[in-house]
Amino acid sequence: MLQKFFRNKNMSKVVKLRLKNTIIDKTLTYASETWILAKRDRKQINIFERKVYRRILGPVYDIEKENWRILNNKEIHAVVKYPTITETIRLNRL
């Protein structure tokens, strides 16, 4: 259901990021204070989070190569400036 919102061109990126932070992050971190995350779990959560960010931010036009491309991980974190879900889980631990 959220995929329709993230693909909607009429909604701003700010609204989409707020939706992600309020719905997806809260759902993923529910009762995370007691979790023990293995390295594989952290990797899978980070992959999912970057996938959502790429869908929200969409492709960018590369002027030098004159084509469209997706953002790499460093560019995503530079644009978003929010802590990752795994960092939030680590900080909320008991």
pLDDT tens-digit readout, 3-57: 888 888 888 989 999 989 898 888 888 888 888 889 999 999 999 999 999 999 9
Q: Which residues contact 16 (CB under 8 A, 6 or more apart)?
A: 5, 6, 56
How much is the pLDDT for 6? Answer: 83
User: What type of residue is 20?
Assistant: K
How much is the pLDDT for 82? Answer: 87
Average pLDDT on 70-89 reads 90
Contact call for residues 40 and 62 (beta carbons, < 8 A): no
Nearest to 51 by CA among 37, 67, 70, 68: 70
